[in-house]
């Protein structure tokens, strides 16, 4: 069935200057007091519209058009998980000499597509099983036919899995030993140097941090002697500097062999990919993968939520970025001041500059990994004591740690209710459960959730607790772009409406850009010493942070999203000369 609706271009609609022909012919078009609208413009009921097209032809201002909504492509199934299970339509196309990106909501088939293309999963065409001849017939005349034939004939692929937290469960030993086993091209020392893994080589894998595990997994994947490389989510737990280093290594590999990446950090995807496929659909039910698009065009279409080539609207509202950065807190009431303090931990020393926390503000925390960001929030949360035992905020705090483990097999609903019995009221459902799609998880047990599902539950659990100060460490990990956007909106609304102060540690520039009123910047020598600034305004904070990394960002002219400038490009040199590393401020 084709799901199509008529939509109105509100800038073109002039209901006071036309004879309202659309009203005469279509009962689902409404204007004026007949519907809840703004400025007396026409709207069309999506529930009643059948997409007949009459109103389109009758509108003298061409303000109405027919737009498709996501729907399943019956007869074009690539793979289905059992009867009435999730079904995937279409596949991305690996390209020689290029990095191909795959961008889309969690649960829309990206990992399934990667498993098929890497040879771990045979496509069944939506049936119980499919013969290879049927598969070839399905993809006849497409670029994928030759690839699937070579895959059956035994080409070698290398895959970096999505969830790197599972590595210590399947491998026991030193990181160096793992890489030596993986190294089939004799470039271990070179890759280790470029990814900054030297200090981790002699450590046991089970003792590595999330960032070290991520880089270890990427190194192991790229050291294989393969014909195609697939990397599923490369930036989780990595700081911006590490993400940039990883992107450079992958880009270099793509000069030799095709690379396909799945990634939610749009800034890095934009810098790394040559082409991008978008996956859309209904998470957990079906997913559709588009034809390849130029990376800037594809990302902008994804953010707008409308795919013009497919004439499909994949999201009700576009993901928008504030043009008038930097934002600063409008509220000046100080909640609490914290003193300068230091913390020594396993040979690492953190020095913190004194600062103040304002009511109803969101403070972003940025900086390289292993410079003390998590240690800082743990001290403020009361999880750790500072060396001099000076920090006592006399506040109730709620803390979401960086690494989340489901330590109980309790259902999600029961777990959240134990934190706040009001979770099932309309307010909490509207403000917390619905934006992050947690309502559908309420009967699931915590230890059955995926990394992204557990992350969403943990964020809500943190905000549900009664506290004065909320501290969230890397809330974007394992979340897709839509979920990160909703998290940003939810936290900002929570801070303003509940008059609460929130600290957010994260490496996603998009999230930090959308969420923060002020920034605390961490600097230092990773693993040895770290130092924090006092809270800074967005302009000063981001310029200081990015100047340390030697990276500049600009605003995309169309969507106003942050974009990484190519190193030593004209814009990169120009912005550095003016000291504007993040973007030009008005």
Q: At what angle do helices 481-497 and 451-464 cross, to 10 degrees?
A: 0
- Res 84: pLDDT: 65
**36 occurs within a structural domain:** yes
Cβ pair 68, 4 in contact under 8 A? yes
- Res 568: pLDDT: 84
- Res 36: pLDDT: 34
For the chain, the farthest-separated pair of C-alpha atoms sits apart, in whole angstroms, at: 78
- 526: containing domain: 334-534
- Res 586: pLDDT: 40
214 and 292 fall within a common domain: yes
389 and 512 fall within a common domain: yes
484 phi and psi angles, rounded to 5 deg: -65, -40
57 and 121 fall within a common domain: no
Q: At what angle do helices 412-419 and 451-464 cross, to 10 degrees?
A: 20
DSSP-assigned beta bridge partners for residue 277: 102
- Res 38: pLDDT: 37
- Res 236: pLDDT: 83
Question: b/e map of 469-489 (b: 16 or more CB within 10 Å)?
Answer: bbbbbbbbbbbbbbbbbbbbe
- Res 369: pLDDT: 83
**162 occurs within a structural domain:** yes
101 and 55 fall within a common domain: no
Q: How many domains does the chain have?
A: 3
192 and 263 fall within a common domain: yes
Query: Alpha-carbon distance 370 to 386, whole Å?
Result: 17
Cβ pair 368, 467 in contact under 8 A? no
Which three-class secondary structure state does DSSP give residue 114? helix
Expressed in angstroms, the distance from the first to the final Cα of the chain is: 49
267 and 149 fall within a common domain: yes
Query: Alpha-carbon distance 498 to 464, whole Å?
Result: 11
Query: Alpha-carbon distance 132 to 117, whole Å?
Result: 14
64 and 87 fall within a common domain: no
Task: Provide the whole-model pTM.
Answer: 0.78
Q: What is the dihedral of CA 135, 139, 141, 143, to 10 degrees?
A: -120
Q: What is the dihedral of CA 114, 272, 163, 196, to 10 degrees?
A: 140
291 and 181 fall within a common domain: yes
61 and 157 fall within a common domain: no
Q: How does strand 341-345 pair with strand 348-352?
A: antiparallel
Tell me the CATH number at 108. 3.40.50.300
Q: How does strand 293-294 pair with strand 312-313?
A: unpaired
**583 occurs within a structural domain:** no
Q: Average pLDDT across each block of 10 residues of the chain; the chain has 586 residues. List them in order.
A: 58 68 67 42 66 76 66 80 82 91 92 94 91 93 91 92 86 93 95 92 88 93 96 88 90 93 90 93 87 94 91 84 54 87 92 94 91 93 93 93 81 94 92 91 88 93 96 91 91 93 91 91 90 93 88 84 83 91 65
- How high is the mean pLDDT of the chain? 86
- Res 5: pLDDT: 57
Cα-only R_g, the chain: 25
Q: Which helix (H) or strand (E) holds 175?
A: helix 175-182
CA distances from 18 to 41, 43, 242, 411 (A): 12, 15, 58, 57
- Hey, CA dihedral for 421, 424, 430, 436, is it positive or negative? positive
**510 occurs within a structural domain:** yes
**575 occurs within a structural domain:** no
49 and 187 fall within a common domain: no
Query: Alpha-carbon distance 219 to 496, whole Å?
Result: 43
| Residue 68 CB neighbour total at 10 angstroms | 17
Three-state secondary structure of 291-359: CCEEHHHHHHHHHHCEECCCCEECCCCCCCCCCCCCCCCCCCCEEEEECCEEEEECCEEEEECCEEEEC
36 and 90 fall within a common domain: no
Tell me the CATH number at 40. 3.30.70.20
- Res 355: pLDDT: 95
- Hey, CA dihedral for 487, 488, 490, 491, is it positive or negative? positive
CA distances from 449 to 380, 411, 412, 417 (A): 29, 10, 9, 18
Q: Nearest-CA neighbor of 112 among 284, 299, 345?
A: 284
Query: Alpha-carbon distance 429 to 438, whole Å?
Result: 9
59 and 138 fall within a common domain: no
């Amino acid at each position: 069935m084709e799901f199509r609706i008529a939509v109105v271009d509100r800038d073109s609609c002039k209901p006071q200057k036309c004879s309202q022909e659309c009203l005469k012919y279509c009962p689902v078009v409404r204007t004026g007091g007949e519907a809840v609208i703004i400025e007396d413009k026409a709207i069309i009921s999506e529930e009643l519209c059948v997409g007949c097209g009459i109103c389109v032809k009758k509108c003298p201002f061409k303000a109405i058009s027919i737009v498709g909504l996501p729907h399943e492509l019956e007869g074009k199934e690539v793979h289905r998980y059992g009867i009435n299970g999730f079904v995937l339509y279409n596949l991305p196309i690996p390209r020689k000499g290029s990095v191909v990106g795959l961008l889309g909501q969690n649960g829309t088939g990206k990992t399934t597509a990667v498993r098929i293309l890497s040879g771990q999963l045979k496509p069944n065409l939506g049936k119980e099983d499919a013969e290879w001849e049927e598969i070839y017939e399905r993809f006849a005349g497409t670029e994928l036919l030759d690839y699937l034939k070579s895959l059956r004939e035994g080409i070698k692929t290398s895959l970096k899995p999505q969830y790197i937290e599972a590595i210590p469960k399947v491998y026991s030993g030193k990181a160096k030993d793992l890489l030596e086993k993986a190294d089939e091209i004799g470039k271990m020392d070179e890759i280790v140097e470029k990814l900054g893994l030297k200090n981790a080589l002699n450590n046991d894998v089970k003792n590595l941090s999330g960032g070290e595990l991520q880089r270890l997994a990427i190194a192991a994947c790229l050291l294989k002697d393969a014909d195609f490389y697939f990397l599923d989510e490369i930036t989780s737990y990595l700081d911006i500097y590490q993400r940039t280093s990883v992107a450079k290594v992958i880009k270099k590999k793509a000069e030799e062999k095709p690379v396909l990446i799945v990634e939610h950090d749009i800034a890095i995807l934009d810098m790394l990919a040559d082409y991008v496929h978008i996956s859309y659909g209904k998470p957990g039910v079906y997913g559709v993968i588009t034809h390849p698009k130029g990376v800037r065009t594809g990302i902008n279409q994804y953010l707008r939520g409308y795919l013009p080539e497919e004439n499909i609207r994949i999201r009700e509202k576009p993901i928008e970025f504030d043009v008038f950065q930097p934002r600063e807190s409008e509220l000046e009431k100080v909640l609490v001041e914290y003193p300068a303090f230091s913390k020594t931990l396993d040979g690492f020393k953190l020095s913190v500059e004194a600062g103040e926390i304002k009511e109803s503000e969101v403070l972003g925390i940025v900086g390289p990994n292993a410079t003390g960001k998590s240690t800082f929030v743990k001290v403020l949360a009361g999880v750790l004591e500072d060396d001099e035992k000076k920090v006592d905020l006399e506040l109730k705090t709620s803390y979401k740690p960086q690494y989340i483990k489901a330590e109980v097999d309790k259902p999600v609903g029961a777990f959240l209710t134990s934190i706040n019995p009001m979770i099932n009221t309309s307010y909490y459902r509207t403000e917390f459960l619905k934006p992050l799609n947690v309502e559908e998880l309420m009967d699931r047990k915590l230890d059955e959730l995926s990394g992204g599902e557990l992350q969403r539950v943990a964020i809500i659990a943190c905000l549900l607790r009664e506290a004065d100060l909320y501290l969230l460490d890397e809330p974007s990990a394992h979340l897709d772009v839509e979920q990160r956007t909703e998290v940003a909106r939810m936290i900002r609304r929570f801070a303003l409406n509940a008059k609460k102060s929130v600290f957010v540690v994260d490496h996603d520039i998009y999230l930090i850009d959308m969420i923060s009123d002020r920034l605390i910047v961490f600097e230092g020598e990773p693993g040895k010493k770290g130092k924090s600034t006092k809270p800074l305004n967005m302009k000063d904070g981001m310029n200081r942070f990015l100047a340390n990394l030697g990276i500049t960002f600009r605003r995309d002219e169309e969507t106003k999203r942050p974009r990484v400038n190519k190193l030593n490009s004209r814009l990169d040199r120009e912005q550095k000369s003016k000291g504007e590393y993040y973007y030009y401020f008005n």
